[in-house]
Amino acid sequence: MNWMSKHFTFVIIPEGNQSVRRYRLNRMMLVLTVSCILLLAICSALFIYLFWDRSDRIQKLEIQLTATEADYEQQLQSKRTHITALQGNVLQLTQQAQSIERQMSEIKQLESQLKEIAGIKEPAVRISSSAYNAETSGQGGEEVPVPVPAAASDAGDAVAAKTMDSYSDIQANMEELGPSLKSTISALLKHQHTMRITPTIWPADSRKMTSQFGYRRDPISGRSSLHNGLDIGGRRGDPVYATADGTVTLSERSYPHGNNILIDHGKGIETRYLHLNARNVEVGDQVVKGQQIGELGNTGRSTGPHLHYEVIVNGSHVNPLPYIQDASKDVSEGEDEHVQN
């Protein structure tokens, strides 16, 4: 304690005539002063160290942040490019979808024409919108979450590319299908027209053949002769039908044919109906397949009510039986009645 109570005297002698200055400090104050100076120096050094260390870290963080911003900017630019490409793909898909929709509409029209030509009637189906109303209809089922792919962008690109390829394939097939359907319609129309002018139906309601085409013993003279048609037995007044579309070129009463009608169907095909009770058409009339043109009768050289039906191809009589659909049904033969020469 005595050592601490001792004093130190500091003398400052300035230059010139200035007075000398003396400072008296005890040892304790000196120690405290030196300690404070050392502590201040240490704190200053520590502060400077921390300051420079913090500055270095900040600089490194700024460099890292700049690099991160550049990377993010690059990624953003890549995303923008990708979005632009996707927008282009969507536009292309939309245009392809619109084109396919137009072609589908054309194909549906062609399909409707085919069904109309073929005589196919579509059932009327009416779907009530209330069937899909959650408030008026029951709904349920297990809830299955939609899976989210890990690489959604790559998956989206793959799906878009696959969809575009599928659309292209579908569009190519539809472009081929359209002309094919048109060709089919054209062929069907030609076939339908050919069927309309081809005598393929029975000329009467009766299916009873009393004399077939070919040589036979004449029921009146008894001599062998050529029978150039079919005799179909029936009742007087039964309807007689045109077996194909055509134009009436002859409608008269004569012997031995009685009341008879000749129809020109085009392409060298004609049909003739003899021994009618009545004629319902005149020369120049246009008739359609299945239209009643007269009545079955017993006029001319005939032994009883029947229809003598002939098919003439390029001026020559042919057997009508192969032309008639279902000609084998309800057929009986007999030359003992209802025949003509």
Residue 216 near residue 337, CB atoms below 8 Å: no
Count of helix runs (H) and strand runs (E) in the chain: 3, 14
pTM of the model: 0.52
Q: Please report where in the chains the tokens 């579908």 appear, as a residue.
A: 170
Q: Backbone phi, then psi, for 292, in 5-degree steps?
A: -75, 125
Q: Is residue 249 part of a domain?
A: yes
Q: How confident is the model at residue 122 (pLDDT cuts 50, 70, 90)?
A: low
Mode of pairing for the β-strands spanning 258-266 and 269-279: antiparallel
Is residue 271 within 8 Å of residue 324, measured between CB atoms? no
Domain membership of residue 298 (yes or no) is yes
What is the rounded end-to-end Cα distance, in angstroms, of the chain? 173
Note whether residue 176 is domain-resident. Answer: no
pLDDT the model gives residue 116 = 73
pLDDT at 234 over 80: yes
Closest CA to 205 of 281, 132, 139, 295: 295
Q: Which two tokens stand for residue 21?
A: 């200055």
Residue 12: pLDDT band (50, 70, 90) is confident
CB 265 within 8 A of CB 288: no
Give strand ranges (E) for 1-156. Answer: 7-12, 21-26
Cβ atoms of 287 and 246 closer than 8 Å: yes
What was the pLDDT predicted at 151? 52
Domain count along the chain: 2
Interval 297-325 mean pLDDT = 92
Instruction: Answer whether residue 220 is part of any domain.
Output: yes
User: 295 lies in a domain?
Assistant: yes
Smallest Cα–Cα separation from 195: which of 325, 329, 308, 326? 325
Asked whether the beta carbons of 210 and 231 are under 8 A apart, the reply is yes
Choose one of 29, 63, 85: the last residue of a domain: 85
**61: CB partners within 8 A, 6+ apart:** none
Rounded Cα–Cα distance for residues 336 and 229 (Å): 17
Question: Does 313 fall in a domain?
Answer: yes
Q: Which of 39, 59, 85 is the last residue of a domain?
A: 85
**Can you give the CATH number for the domain in which 294 is found?**
2.70.70.10
pLDDT in tens, 186-217: 777 888 888 899 999 999 999 999 998 988 88
Residue 145 carries which DSSP code? P
- Residue 28: predicted pLDDT: 74
Range of the domain at 260: 209-323
Domain contains 328: no
Q: Which of 34, 65, 85 is the last residue of a domain?
A: 85
Helix axes 27-118, 152-196, angle to 10 degrees: 10
Is residue 285 domain-resident? yes
Give the pLDDT score at 314.
95
